[in-house]
């Protein structure tokens, strides 16, 4: 017993030193996110999305979760595909945004312009200069993730704030709070950084017979 106790003190000191060392090299959410943005020109993965009830809406029916895939290349090129519970595609080629509703066979187009600026899409798909459009700050640790808060600088933004949860240098979750108190929660998975892309990867092919509306 005495021998074991003599070993316990050095072991405890080593464990403490290890914990301090781990803490010193542990990247904050802001550091992880800036590294992700700087080293990720393109990415693909999967997502699930659900709506969180706002205050005063306890009696409303819960919105079924949706899921799908995403592919993006900075700046301003992406394909965000909902596969469940209904099929819809949001696709941008850097100049125009196309919204395709498969059930209605309807396409809505609009100029991308500065629309990405302070929108949630800018976080993943926009330029590297995020601090031009957002005020970024640490938001603590929760659910095993380091969280970053992004508040749009534009007063006319429809979103109050966006929080991003990161682990091992990758965004795994996003919480989007709009100006009406609604919060959408996104879980990101199977992220692959910088996949091989072609010149036509983001070219939108108009579905045959689709009704087209310009916004």
Q: How far is the C-alpha of 101 from the C-alpha of 98, rounded, in Å?
A: 10
- Map residue 82 onto helix, strand or coil: strand
Domain range for 131 is: 28-214
Are 84 and 67 in contact, with CB atoms under 8 Å apart? yes
Confirm whether 7 is domain-assigned.
Answer: no
Confirm whether 23 is domain-assigned.
Answer: no
Confirm whether 22 is domain-assigned.
Answer: no
For residue range 158-203, what is the model confidence (pLDDT) as tens digits? 788 999 999 999 999 999 998 888 899 999 999 999 999 998 999 9
For residue range 2-32, what is the model confidence (pLDDT) as tens digits? 333 343 443 333 333 333 333 334 589 999 9
Distance from chain centroid for Cα 33: 11
The greatest distance separating any two alpha carbons of the chain, rounded to the nearest whole angstrom, comes to 84
For residue range 39-87, what is the model confidence (pLDDT) as tens digits? 999 999 999 999 886 655 555 566 789 999 999 998 889 999 999 999 9
Query: Structural domain tally of the chain?
Result: 1
Percent of the chain with pLDDT over 70: 80
Q: Which CATH number does the domain housing residue 189 bear?
A: 2.50.20.10
Confirm whether 20 is domain-assigned.
Answer: no
Give me the phi and psi of 38, to 5 degrees please: -70, -30
Confirm whether 121 is domain-assigned.
Answer: yes
pTM for this structure? 0.79
The CA radius of gyration of the chain, in Å to the nearest whole number, is 21
Confirm whether 107 is domain-assigned.
Answer: yes
Confirm whether 9 is domain-assigned.
Answer: no
Confirm whether 17 is domain-assigned.
Answer: no
């Amino acid at each position: 017993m005495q021998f074991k106790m003599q070993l316990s003190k050095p072991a405890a000191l080593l464990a403490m030193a290890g914990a301090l060392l781990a803490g010193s090299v542990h990247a904050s959410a802001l550091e992880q996110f800036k590294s992700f943005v700087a080293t990720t020109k393109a990415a693909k993965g999967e997502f699930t999305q659900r709506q969180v009830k706002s205050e005063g809406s306890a009696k409303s029916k819960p919105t079924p979760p949706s899921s799908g895939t995403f592919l993006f290349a900075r700046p301003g090129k992406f394909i965000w595909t909902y596969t469940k519970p209904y099929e819809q595609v949001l696709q941008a080629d850097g100049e125009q945004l196309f919204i395709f509703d498969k059930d209605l066979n309807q396409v809505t187009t609009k100029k991308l312009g500065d629309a990405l600026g302070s929108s949630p899409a800018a976080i993943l798909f926009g330029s590297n200069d995020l601090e031009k459009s957002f005020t970024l700050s640490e938001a603590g640790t929760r659910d095993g993730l380091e969280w970053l808060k992004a508040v749009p600088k534009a007063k006319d933004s429809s979103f109050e704030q966006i929080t991003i949860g990161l682990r091992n240098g990758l965004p795994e979750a996003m919480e989007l709070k709009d100006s009406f108190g609604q919060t959408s929660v996104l879980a990101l998975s199977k992220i692959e950084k910088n996949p091989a892309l072609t010149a036509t990867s983001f070219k939108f092919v108009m579905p045959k017979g689709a009704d087209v509306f310009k916004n």
